[in-house]
Structure 1
Amino acid sequence: MPPTLASLVHHSALKLTVRAGGDRLDVPVRWAHVSELADPVPYMEGGELLLITALQLDAEDAEAMRRYVKRLVGAGVVGLGFAVGVNYADIPKAVVEAAQHEGLPLLEVPRRTPFLAISKAVSAAIAADQYRAVTAGFAAQRELTRQALSDGPEGLLAALASQVDGWAALYDASGAVVATAPEWAGRRAARLTADVERLRERPAPASAVVGAGGGDDDGERDRVELHSLGTGRRPRAALAVGTAATLGTAERYALHSAIALLTLTTERSRSLQAAEQRIGAAVLRMLLAGEPDHARAVAGDLYGELLDAPYRIVVAESASPPAGATAPEGKASRPTAGALVAADTNGDPLGGLTECLESAAARAGEAVLVVPEGERLVVLAVDGGAAVGACEEFAAALEGARAEASASSAVPGSASGSGSSGSSGSSGSSVSSGYSGHSGDEDELVVGMSGPAGPIAAAAAYKQAEQALSVARRRGRVLVGHEQLAAGSVVPLLADDAVRAFADGLLRPLYAHDATGRGDLVASLRAWLSRHGQWDAAAADLGVHRHTLRYRMRRVEEILGRSLDDPDVRMELWLALKTTAAVGE
């Protein structure tokens, strides 16, 4: 610890005598300073032992001494050393009484003790304290390194908590608590979720000092330091360290060592990440090629367990709207998921989804295979596992934010409606302003998820995911699962350009006929098909005689050159009518 007044008094070579404030000698001394100025306060920083001979002071004036000592105390001076035998044979009573009144320790310096000796003693003690701190820091670094190598992050946290006499917690990239030391610190660490989230929004490295005071359950207030871990713009993890007081030099060394070691642990090298991605891509290619045995051999321990249970394939794309696409005049452009996650993923929704899935899988101790393919992401995740659940939650959050932003942009006079970004104190306004003047530069996240599958059905599962992705894009949804296609209607699948072109070509002659005003063949055909060819029921729906309807159906056959007795023809006409109706809606 740094030198104190008590340690100086006990220094045998200095021969100092306590004349006042003997109960306050444990205060640390930052420096020893000599000043004969009548007012040295402007040159004080606090924590000094001031040494004087009272050369320019009327040390016997009680009022002047009270003012002098009071100003010293106000400036943070921790002690006053008065040399006797120079200007005064003894310390004047006025100085002693003023020191006693203000509670300022007063030390008598004998004539044979030069001020330089006191300054050297303080300097040597400070240097020794710094050396001890550095030595302790190196020892802590060795211990932290040993724990990190033998027991991983958990062992490192335990060693760090011991070094700082407090607690430590590690958070993953999503802000969830991964490990704490001691175990009882879990509740305190969980209270810092919002603070960790705010820290993650800042480029790494970043730090903050917050309070994680307990409630009635522990009755303590901690000083907590938060530090981001990582070398990229997006921190991959965060460290929290809680202590009862400000960290000392040795504790600070230990903390910095822990930050470096945890960064190395959590921020894997680029080459290792690239190697794992290549293995994952190879496993995926083999599965899609119908070679599950080879895929399992290549997967090894890295992804092997993923192939031992049913899994789902997720295909995600960051697809921009068509170039030059603009919102209809007078309407706000539809909010994109890319803008919704911009604050949390720096405009990279695929990166945000990857981070979310990998963090969830890591917390659950399950494998997940993530393969980036340009603007597409392919994921193999355990069916019913944490990664699949995280994907659904991620999409649901974006859907909810999109709906909220759409509602905000519809408010008259809002930023989106006026085409200006605007600014408002509310979060809703700030979200909606992110979509005003949307020009297609921001990416929109679209996700398709397969049903449960096994290694031998990977190709089919991939096809399911792609079909679900296509439907999600057409519906304007963030996520569509294969089950939703099976349980829903086939009509949304008709919104394909090729299907629409076929429908338009098939029905164009009927629309051309109706445009001349010589009959309503399209409506009559729709009514007749919807009534399964029942003449009376269809005629009643149209409000015409059944013979009129029979005539119109003969005209349909003549114009199209097809027989309505053919079930394939009826099916094609019905689907064509549904397709044009869907486009009209």
Structure 2
Amino acid sequence: MPPTLGALLRTPKLRLRLLTGQEGLHRRVEWVAVSELTDPTPYLAGGELVLTTGVGWVEDPRDLRDYVRRLAERDIAGLGFGADVVFDHTPDELRAAAEEFGVTLVEVAKETPFIAVGKEVSRLLAQEEYEGLTRAFAAQRELARAALRGAGAVVERLARELDGWVLLLEPDGSVRHAAPARAAEHARRSAAELPRLRGAGPRAGVSVISGDEHVALQSLAIGRRVRGFLAVGSRRGFGSHDRTLVNAAVSLLSLELERPTTEGGSGITPGVVAALFDGALDPAHAGAAALRRALPDEPVVVAAVQGPPPEGPFPDGVLITDAGDVPSADPATGTLLLASAENLDRLPEVFDELFDGGAGLSGPVSYAELAVARAQAERALAVSVDEGRGPVRSGDLPGGLLGLLETPAGARLADDLLAPLDRQRNAAELLASLRAYLAASGRWDAAAERLGVHRHTLRYRMKRIRELLPGDLDDPDHRTELWISLRVRQGRARP
């Protein structure tokens, strides 16, 4: 059940009574804000249910109209007035102002503490999040099962889960699969956006609104070559769980389109290998069982080589790709290799046989840690090139993991991750707020005190940060990456 005003009014224990704004009962309540300020709007983000007893109006109730007008302009969900506390009834001036500005006004019984309303909203939000996650996990499992039957089954399942239409387009914009079948009529309109995607890179996406319909288009690519496009349309728009589902479909379809059409070799295309190094493909994904069987056994090591990839054939158990196909790779790296740690002693022979120039080796890692291993290998490569010696192992370098912070690759990754905040006019304010929030482990009061601002101001800034950043701030891995990126910035600022 979503936390709407109507849902709160239907909760008997809260004893809420609607005074004005029947048409606003569908409004979603993002949070509950208790405030006795005569102007609480600087501390509101919009969508709150504001609760007050009217202490600030005792001396001059004539300000009630301006008070409600400011709240309406802030787009609050509703206003709750605590009766029989300061005023023996809800002031008529307040009711009139609420009707004038279209603000839903409810009366909170004296027996109902404001904190009870806040707890109920928190409970409904948690329940909605849990139900959404449960649906999303179930939908992702169904998508993975559909992938076993091919790209067409994935398209059909995605359309069913989103209650919309889905198109799988060829690189030239022609329709490969459509669900439902009549969705093919949207192909021409979607094709008009494809030039923008082609010019934006292999993992570009675009969202458009056409009439009352929301449309999202995403390039399908593992390496640098775009294999097709996914177009998704829905009249209800896309929530966070919908976007997660679309992203899962993009990964599955990209992998499906990368399947080799010829026999022989490992059965893994260069684009798939590049995606592994770039973190765009997770071998642990439910739909990647065949890929896991073809990959070297864990733990694995990554090697970064200065020279370009040689012509095959390559040694058994060693996967090689052009580093230029990996968008986040260090420009100084020419080739990336992946091998089981059991074959670590054989890699120097591979370098001598196939490559000229420097080389760097990571420590043994799992596939979930390939990004870290690649950074280790690139750092070792830099030392190998600078000192003009043979292959260098990252474990022999000083500094360990924290030493990666001082490399150009680490600085570039940090800049890429924080770029959405850097582009804002108040970038310094947002970055400082993010640093304080992470340093305080998400504790609002401690973070706000560190910044010297009100906690509601910090909540507003963090809401904006969540909107800008591509990852989920509730994900420990993403929070760790952000913290390390901020540490990289801090390190570069030191003399």
TM-score, structure 1 normalization: 0.44
- 1:14 paired to 2:14: yes
- 1:227 paired to 2:218: yes
CA RMSD of aligned residues (A): 2.5
Structure 1 letter corresponding to 2:52 = I
Contact kept? 1:167, 1:185, Cα under 8 Å: yes
| 2:164 paired residue number | 166
| 1:79 paired residue number | 78
Separation (CA, whole Å) in 2 of partners of 1:161 and 1:59: 59
| 1:267 paired residue number | 258
SS at match of 1:192: helix
Separation (CA, whole Å) in 2 of partners of 1:39 and 1:196: 47
SS at match of 2:203: coil
Separation (CA, whole Å) in 1 of partners of 2:9 and 2:2: 14
Structure 2 letter corresponding to 1:162 = R
| 2:187 paired residue number | 189
| 1:114 paired residue number | 113
Listed one character per residue, the Cα deviations across residues 242-287 of structure 1 (whole Å, up to 9, x for unaligned) are: 1113212332232122112112211337997855799xxxxxxxxx
Separation (CA, whole Å) in 1 of partners of 2:22 and 2:264: 63
Matches within 5 A, 1:73-472: 73-150=72-149, 152-211=150-209, 213=210, 221-268=212-259
Contact kept? 1:177, 1:190, Cα under 8 Å: no
Separation (CA, whole Å) in 1 of partners of 2:24 and 2:103: 8
Contact kept? 1:60, 1:95, Cα under 8 Å: no
Structure 2 letter corresponding to 1:166 = G
Q: Percent identity?
A: 38
| 1:27 paired residue number | 27
Listed one character per residue, the Cα deviations across residues 403-458 of structure 1 (whole Å, up to 9, x for unaligned) are: xxxxxxxxxxxxxxxxxxxxxxxxxxxxxxxxxxxxxxxxxxxxxxxxxxxxxxxx
Separation (CA, whole Å) in 2 of partners of 1:55 and 1:269: 72
Listed one character per residue, the Cα deviations across residues 35-82 of structure 1 (whole Å, up to 9, x for unaligned) are: 111111111111110011111124873x42111111101101110011
Unmatched runs of 5 consecutive residues or more in structure 1 = 214-219, 279-345, 347-585
Contact kept? 2:82, 2:107, Cα under 8 Å: yes
Separation (CA, whole Å) in 1 of partners of 2:34 and 2:152: 51
Cα deviation for residue 209 of structure 1 reads: 0.8
The number of aligned residues is: 270
Cα deviation for residue 83 of structure 1 reads: 0.7
SS at match of 2:195: helix
SS at match of 1:161: helix
Contact kept? 2:205, 2:217, Cα under 8 Å: yes
Cα deviation for residue 223 of structure 1 reads: 1.5
| 1:472 paired residue number | none
Structure 2 letter corresponding to 1:153 = A
Listed one character per residue, the Cα deviations across residues 476-495 of structure 1 (whole Å, up to 9, x for unaligned) are: xxxxxxxxxxxxxxxxxxxx
Separation (CA, whole Å) in 1 of partners of 2:16 and 2:53: 15
Separation (CA, whole Å) in 1 of partners of 2:252 and 2:98: 50
Change (3 A) 1:157 1:87: same
Cα deviation for residue 230 of structure 1 reads: 1.7
Change (3 A) 1:84 1:59: farther
Change (3 A) 1:271 1:183: closer
| 2:54 paired residue number | 54
Listed one character per residue, the Cα deviations across residues 101-131 of structure 1 (whole Å, up to 9, x for unaligned) are: 2221111111221111111111110111111
SS at match of 1:186: helix
Cα deviation for residue 167 of structure 1 reads: 0.4
Separation (CA, whole Å) in 1 of partners of 2:261 and 2:46: 48
Contact kept? 1:84, 1:90, Cα under 8 Å: yes
Larger radius of gyration: 1
Contact kept? 1:204, 1:229, Cα under 8 Å: yes
Change (3 A) 1:97 1:221: closer
Which of structure 1's runs of 4+ aligned residues deviate more than 4 A? 269-278
Contact kept? 1:59, 1:65, Cα under 8 Å: no
SS at match of 1:205: coil
Structure 2 letter corresponding to 1:11 = T
SS at match of 1:170: strand
Contact kept? 1:46, 1:75, Cα under 8 Å: yes
Matches within 5 A, 1:481-496: none
Separation (CA, whole Å) in 1 of partners of 2:66 and 2:75: 15
Contact kept? 2:260, 2:267, Cα under 8 Å: no
Separation (CA, whole Å) in 2 of partners of 1:143 and 1:277: 25
Separation (CA, whole Å) in 1 of partners of 2:188 and 2:267: 32
Separation (CA, whole Å) in 1 of partners of 2:207 and 2:30: 24
Separation (CA, whole Å) in 2 of partners of 1:148 and 1:277: 17
Cα deviation for residue 26 of structure 1 reads: 1.1
Contact kept? 1:60, 1:92, Cα under 8 Å: no
SS at match of 1:208: strand
Structure 1 letter corresponding to 2:235 = A
Cα deviation for residue 173 of structure 1 reads: 2.7
| 1:45 paired residue number | 45
Cα deviation for residue 23 of structure 1 reads: 2.8
Unmatched runs of 5 consecutive residues or more in structure 2 = 270-326, 328-495
Listed one character per residue, the Cα deviations across residues 201-235 of structure 1 (whole Å, up to 9, x for unaligned) are: 22232110124x4xxxxxx6521101112222232
Separation (CA, whole Å) in 2 of partners of 1:170 and 1:39: 51
